[in-house]
Chain A
Amino acid sequence: MRPFTYVAAGTPKEALKAAANSSASHYLGGGTNLLDLMKEDVERPEQIVEVADLDLAQVKKNKGGGYTIGATLSNSATANHPDVRNNYPLLSMTILAAATVQIRNMATNGGNLLQRTRCPYFYETSMPCNKREPGSGCGALNGSNAGHAIFGWSESCVATNPSDMSIALAALDASVRVQAPDGSSRLIPFNDFHRLPGDQPEKDTTLRPHELVLAIELPAPIYKDHYYYLKIRERSSYAFALISVAAGLEIKNDRITKVGLALGGVAHKPWKLTSAEEFLVGKAPTEENFTQAATLALKDAKTLEHNKYKVPMSEKAIARALAQAYARKA
């Protein structure tokens, strides 16, 4: 195997300091993605800074009424935490639709945000991939692209983000708290955390060099009554989404007052359906309105040779997820 140095960090400060010492340093959380990629020779870090033991595994209530969910808390612990279950059931439901119990037990929240695409061209080192090897080309653009993007892709990359959790976080309008090696910290709105590929598909996120994810911050509890995560996949569990939808509704006097809606499996980042959200606010929660919102959401989709199915599948899934969210406690 390729040699690398290993540092076990006890505090964020130690982690940041160690990371700054190497240009090819990776933070290691649960390892459910990074270690696989190292075995495949896709990721070739010179240094691993293990951050799994940092004291960031809490769920805390904030002054503003929202909650902070620590980066090193496992996906399982997050989904099953009483505060998350009670206040953000959409997030719990979404996490539990991901991967397997074993993987969720290992995977951390911080790592989940940073998991890399499952595009097979990215994984197979004998094939071109601009994300893995900038300038080598995109094999999927005119290749096997049934699982690839219909929004926001570029000629250099048509990969999708595989995270389930991120779809819920996009719907919930979460933010990500990160810290830089100089000790300063900043809050990145979720929609700005992941980026579109453009001509730099090797960059999945807007994180700056060595920045460390400390926590996910959630707004005040929302969509407690009307929520649904719909995941369409090739088998009943343990498969990435072909299409997934996170939907949350706030309803008052039979009118929709607020909507959180995001689509997974369609873009290089969680795809927030802003125009559909705006369309639904103030309307009645009817099948007709849900269907119209779905049509609106897919208006600008741009398919590739083998993923045309994603448009009708997304439309059905969005309408269905909204209907399920509404029916949940109606």
Chain B
Amino acid sequence: MSIEVLLERLDQYSTNEAIVHNGQVFSYHELQTFIAQWSDSLAKNQILSGTVVAVIGDYSLDAIALMIALIDNKNIILPLTSLAKSHFIEYFEIAHTQFVIDLTQTPHHITQQPSNPLQNELMQQLIEMQHPGLILFTSGSTGQPKAVVHDFEKLLKKFINAKKQYRSLVFLMFDHIAGIDTYFYALYSGGTMVFPASRASKQVCQLIEKYKVEVLPASPTFLNLLLLSGEYLKYDLTSLKIITFGSERMPEPLLKRLNDVFDGVRLVQKYGITELGAPPSKAMEDDALWLKIDSPQYQSRIVDGTLHIKTDTAMLGYLNAPSPFTQDGWFDTGDQVEVDGDYVRILGRASELINVGGEKVHPVEVEEVIQMMEGVEDVIASGLFNQITGALVQIHVKLSTNETRSQFRQRMRNFCEDKLPRYKVPQKVTVVQESLHGERFKKIRR
């Protein structure tokens, strides 16, 4: 079983540094002590195997120890961060939550609530198999959030091969598949996880310098802010070996700037979806934007320009929505791709496509061009309903210049002339003062 392998590895790594948080360094041995304390606490509170437990918190020694103790105890786990606070009641209900462990309170707060997960067929499956489970919510741009249920045992299997010990900044969200992927890779390989107290550029750069961080997994939005902030110039970041990026499309000009600034650092794209986990992938030589899924456990195919994936480690299904899998187990990722042999390049979400009079426009290709303009700090493109062409392209742009909207629009049109076909040139421009990304460092399309 995957969890037994992990527990053996923790023993094996006991003198390695496991976690750096708030200036303190904890070894794998200390992590083991915390896991044991949490296992005791679960027993004392009669949190039995098969019960559904929500964990509210962010990265900390306690949070990681508790996650491992819960997996070992075969619980079904719903990790949450305070950012989702307004959804908690709804999430607890959808996930049939029986216990809530709130790590943001001191002392930690454990509450029980009446619920019966056996009402749900997928939960019943997990409980009968005596496998630990993982529930993640996908935000989705429209409609009710969907609760994804994973068999944690299956999800962890791929980490058994994790060998390379890195010092990683664990930056991606605690309740997100990419965050989970980062910290389990570190745990299985005996690497060191550095937890930031905030996700501000300055703090991130300080930590990289101080703790000689080698791997920085981030989102393109964060990396753009990092360059804009100029903080990277003030710190010694030469320990960095790899920057991974994912969760939204990387604009080409940004990738180029990152390559220039972080000379010698490998920029690696990670592709992951809440429903499937993150398949191991390989980038095309010289172009990180093209990748191929490189694992016997994952099959892929392209249908109408959209990527479909089939894998044994996929989620069991949604708790509150019909199964999205085809009869023979394929999952439509909703990601539009360009294909070159075995390699694909992610163009964007099919649902974000803007249809201008029958012509398809990906918001990101517009953003890529506008972002190259002098004085553009950040930009988001989206579709806007229009009576004549069905939709038009609009942008919300944050500027560092004092231009009026019409001055900027004129400059933008001239700039786009030889870079975009006419129907892709933004027609409506809104200049904004506030930032264009959420607290999750992902662009918010309107």
The judgment on whether A and B are partners is no
Residue ranges of A at the interface with B (Cβ–Cβ < 8 Å): none
